Amino acid sequence: MPAQAIATSSADSRPRELQLGRIRVQIVNEELGAVRGSIEEMSPTDVRVYCEDALPIGSLVTVRLSPEGWDCQFEANGVVHRSEQLADGTDLGVFLSEPLSEELISACWLEMRRELRYAVVWAAWARPDSQKKIVAATILNYSYSGVQLRLPYQPQPGEQITLLTDAPIATATVRWAAPYGPNQFFCGCQMAKSDGLKLALRVQLTTNA
């Protein structure tokens, strides 16, 4: 169910178009308290926020969005899947457990992304349905429901690939593949959203260990 406004105001008094920089953000964790920041990028199910303070990867949070000029606040629960320390703050990524309100999505349509992609370079193993052996794979980026891989063979659209390290992490379905170099191929895959979260947490926890 989409996140709704906690308090409503007259729609006639609100700007028709809303820039992301005009949305105030508060991210609350029951144990660690609240951090404030500004939105860098946003999709209906994912927000990327610049904050002065950090929250640990895996934190369960409530995201509160307060658009400037709107007499209301939008709330959605989520999980911190990215927490990158910068020179003067922290880049936080939060997967939301439910989509944002259609009202807010419509107002931000100029800057709203379908999904946010996070660049990484992370080595894993892949067990393709079409292969009898496990092959090396490199994860190049991930999103809420997708992943881009580099593989030593050309997978076919519709093929299922299990990503694993010491244990299976996620199952991905190939949507496209393209040659990259000798015996190297890029491929884009779709995943269930629960697998997208598991993969994101595993990649980011390992990378930031």
Domain spans of the chain? 11-107, 118-207
C-alpha separations of 139 from 61, 97, 122, 123, 160 in Å: 26, 24, 5, 6, 16
Q: Which residues contact 129 (CB under 8 A, 6 or more apart)?
A: 159, 160, 161
Mean pLDDT value across residues 50-64: 93
Q: What is the DSSP string of 79-96?
A: EEEEEEE-SSSEEEEEEE
Pairwise CA distance, residues 143 & 152, whole Å = 22
Question: Rounded to a whole number, what is the distance in angstroms from the first to the last CA of the chain?
Answer: 35
CATH class of the domain defined by 118-207: mainly beta
Task: Return the structure tokens found at 202.
Answer: 């595993």
**Is 118-207 in the same CATH topology as 11-107?**
yes
- The 3-state DSSP class for residue 201 equals helix
For residue 103, what pLDDT band results from cuts at 50, 70 and 90? confident
Express each pLDDT in 147-186 by its tens digit.
999 999 999 999 999 999 888 899 999 999 999 888 899 9
- Is the pTM higher than 0.75? The answer reads yes
Contact status, residue 82 vs residue 118, Cβ threshold 8 Å: yes
Fold annotation for 11-107: Thrombin, subunit H (2.40.10)
